Amino acid sequence: MIITSGRNSINAGFRLLLLLWTFLSMSACYSKSDVPETKIELSGFEKILVLPFKNLTMQYGENGIIRCPACGTAFAAGKVTEASGHLMTEHLLSFLRNNTHFKIVSSHRPITAQSESFTSSAPVFAEQEILVSAARAAETDWVLAGYIFRYKQRIGTQYSVQSPASVAFSLHLIGAVDGKSIWYGHYDETQQSLSENLFRLKKFLKRKWKWIKAEEMAISGLEELLKTFPMP
């Protein structure tokens, strides 16, 4: 029989909690975002055409799967609130104007392929051609285009929900000369309770143990992606 003193039991328990906290903190760093591992360095004085975020559910519906027209990545579709595109576009423009030296050329209309089906790789090439043409017409070096696949508002309060906020979008920077992807970012999240996913502890603490709104999730996700945006 092994007998452990009370002090040893406390120390052992403390060490166990410390190890658990370390594990959860490391695990919580995982994010449902996708950004390139390698940053592309720009001079900082390029001209960028910024298109407003496009709500793709208006064309492809709120059910099933929608593929990103700029890269083909699949996302679960969902309800998108009417003001979501404007909110995210304004936040994106504000970030670029306040944190970079790029010359920003903004457009009031999103530009996308209108007649292609997202069942093959063809729409990706069609979309890139349209984006490149828009950038050249605006006489810019790059074009930055965003797409919204899901922007579902929470049902409930910050302390209790029937349905949590759920957001999915992508953002792409494409060169006007060769049509190559310079940088991209994908974000896809449905908020979960801590009991559903302990690995989200760090993010849950950051959100002060509350159920957030879709706009809070979208802006937080956009800021997370823009941390890797290529800047001098």
Domain that holds residue 178: 31-226
Is the model more confident about 76 or about 22? 76
Residue 12 lies in a domain: no
Residue 142 lies in a domain: yes
Residue 22 lies in a domain: no
Residue 21 lies in a domain: no
Q: Say what the pLDDT of residue 20 is.
A: 43
CATH of the domain at 131: 3.40.50.10610
Render pLDDT for 150-193 as a digit per residue (tens, 0 to 9): 999 977 776 766 788 899 999 999 999 888 899 999 999 987 65
- Could you tell me the pTM of the whole model? 0.75
Render pLDDT for 86-106 as a digit per residue (tens, 0 to 9): 999 999 999 999 999 899 999
Residue 15 lies in a domain: no
Number of domains comprising the chain: 1
Q: Say what the pLDDT of residue 141 is.
A: 94
Let me know: does 66 contact 56? Beta carbons within 8 Å: yes
Residue 85 lies in a domain: yes
Residue 133 lies in a domain: yes
Residue 84 lies in a domain: yes
